[in-house]
Amino acid sequence: MTERMTSGSGPLDLVLGGGMPRDAIILLVGAPGSGKTILAQQWVFANASPERPALYLSTVSEPLEKILRYGQTLSFFDARSVGRTVWYEDLGVTLRDHALKGVLERLRDLIRERQPSIIVIDSFRAMHPYADRSSGFRRFLHDLAGMLSAFPVTSLWVGEYEEEDILRAPEFAVADAIIALGTVHSGQRSFRALQVHKVRGGGFRPGKHAYRLSADGMMVYPRLADAGDSSDYVLRSERVPSGIQALDDLLEDGYWPGASTLVAGPTGIGKTLMGLHFVFHAVQQGERALIATMQEDPSQLERTVSRFGWTLEAENLTLMYRSPVDLHVDEWVYELLAAIEATGASRVLLDSLGDLQAAAPDETRFREYVYSLLHRSSRRGTSMMMTYELPDLFGVSRLTDIAASHLADNVVLLQYAGFTDVMSRTLTVLKTRATDHEAGVREFQITLDGITLVPPAAE
């Protein structure tokens, strides 16, 4: 496998299969504003050293002064390294006055003078118009690739290329790795996403991976799509109460630890309250629990839980509230997994799955999120309850069109019943994996004592 070096981002290194290939030509492409220059400088400052200096070359797309001025606003930019381990040079004048032949001569002189191990050319595509004829740029590519191959140097060519350019532009055939930055549109939402098209001599993670840009550089969220894992892991054998008396009354022996439960029903039926019972049962037992909600902000939720004698200030409870308006699913999933790991939560309430679905770029990605999240929770023994709002108040004929019901270990359906003066609520356990349950439709009530079953009428 090709020797690798860090990209400056640990998650991006995972996507690349171990990092940037060393002593290679890497093409970093994308539309203006996609973060190419940020990633290029992040890579430079993460790797440059007195023994392996970096050379950053601007051409004619952006003035070198502008690149430097913006770079200084980034947290990883180390002004003390400039002129010592990171050297900036402007090729714009050389390109304008002497075309591509002059660029080759100037680059050869800079390599001899600076002895760099890392070279960035930003922007590479901007040099295309300076070729003397149709074959001139290919000849320039041949000479440039030959020059770079003669030195132990890793070069990053940055350019404003489009997807179709990958098939026709000659530099893509020369490149050892291709990283494309872009934007995915889903309804009214837009998400930044990167895709690795090629890494010669090594594997990489396929598909599109979300990323964010900030003053700390590029943060990448690798596509969460866990492959099936057939390796053994410990499953606790004891059953545990759900903490919801109405539900426990319908179960044979309680839940398996690490099981997932989908609670589906129309608005106002009691889904969130059922999830709160589930979580606060663990809290009252001295276990750690986590509420991940997009439905109610902390003040609204505190008002709800206080009615039942609970509080969000419990020491062993973690609240993770995110607004569904600007929710980036990839970022949210990794944040949730990190919170579960950090707190050691034995139970998690996800309220609600519908908000997560609405924020997902597409149905396939959403299925991957749910599967991977439940798979990881099961392996670490964390029980998860998910709420999902159904549009029908009466006569529900199906649960979801996202396959969450078949991924969950347990499925509970809540419905309204009757057209009398007062509507009643009903509870049905549709599914419990590897255990038995009462399959009837049972009426329940919500009181200050929580959710309780209504005794069946005497026949």
At 430-458, the pLDDT tens digits run 888 767 677 778 888 888 877 888 887 64
What's the pLDDT at 282? 92
Is the confidence at residue 391, as pLDDT, over 50? yes
What's the pLDDT at 286? 94
Which whole number is the average pLDDT over 140-166? 91
Is the confidence at residue 369, as pLDDT, over 90? no
Predicted confidence (pLDDT) per residue in 27-65, tens digit? 999 999 999 999 999 999 999 999 999 999 999 888 888
Least confident of 69-78, 112-121, 321-330, 345-354: 321-330
Q: How confident is the model at residue 409 (pLDDT cuts 50, 70, 90)?
A: confident
What's the pLDDT at 438? 74
> Which CATH code fits 245-453?
3.40.50.300
What's the pLDDT at 237? 61
Which whole number is the average pLDDT over 213-239? 75
Is the confidence at residue 394, as pLDDT, over 80? no
What's the pLDDT at 457? 63
Which whole number is the average pLDDT over 221-230? 73
What's the pLDDT at 459? 44
Q: How remote is the C-alpha of 350 from its chain's centroid? A: 17
User: How many CB atoms are closer than 10 A to CB 266?
Assistant: 17
Least confident of 126-130, 176-180, 186-190, 332-336: 186-190
Q: 4-221 sits in which CATH class?
A: alpha beta
Q: How confident is the model at residue 4 (pLDDT cuts 50, 70, 90)?
A: very high
What's the pLDDT at 245? 77
User: How many CB atoms are closer than 10 A to CB 33?
Assistant: 12
Mean pLDDT of the residues in the chain: 87
Long-range contacts of the stretch 199-204 (C-beta < 8 A, 24+)? 199/2, 199/16, 199/17, 199/21, 200/2, 200/21, 200/24, 200/176, 201/1, 201/2, 201/21, 201/176, 202/1, 202/2, 202/4, 202/17, 202/18, 202/21, 203/17, 204/15, 204/16, 204/17
Q: Is 248 exposed, middle or buried (0-12, 13-18, 19+ CB in 10 A)?
A: middle
Is the confidence at residue 227, as pLDDT, over 70? no
The phi-psi region of residue 146 (left if phi > 0; otherwise alpha if psi is between -120 and 50; otherwise beta) is alpha
All structural domains of the chain with their residue ranges: 4-221, 245-453
Q: How confident is the model at residue 367 (pLDDT cuts 50, 70, 90)?
A: confident
What's the pLDDT at 230? 55
Residue % of the chain over a pLDDT of 70: 91
Query: What does the alpha-carbon distance between residue 2 and residue 23 come to, in Å, rounded to a whole number?
Result: 9
Query: What does the alpha-carbon distance between residue 291 and residue 434 come to, in Å, rounded to a whole number?
Result: 26
* Cβ-contact 296, 440 below 8 angstroms: no
Q: Do domains 4-221 and 245-453 have the same CATH topology?
A: yes
Q: How confident is the model at residue 390 (pLDDT cuts 50, 70, 90)?
A: confident
Least confident of 233-242, 334-343, 416-425: 233-242
pTM: 0.84
Instruction: Output 391 or 268, whichever has higher pLDDT.
Output: 268
Residue % of the chain over a pLDDT of 90: 52
Which whole number is the average pLDDT over 128-148? 86
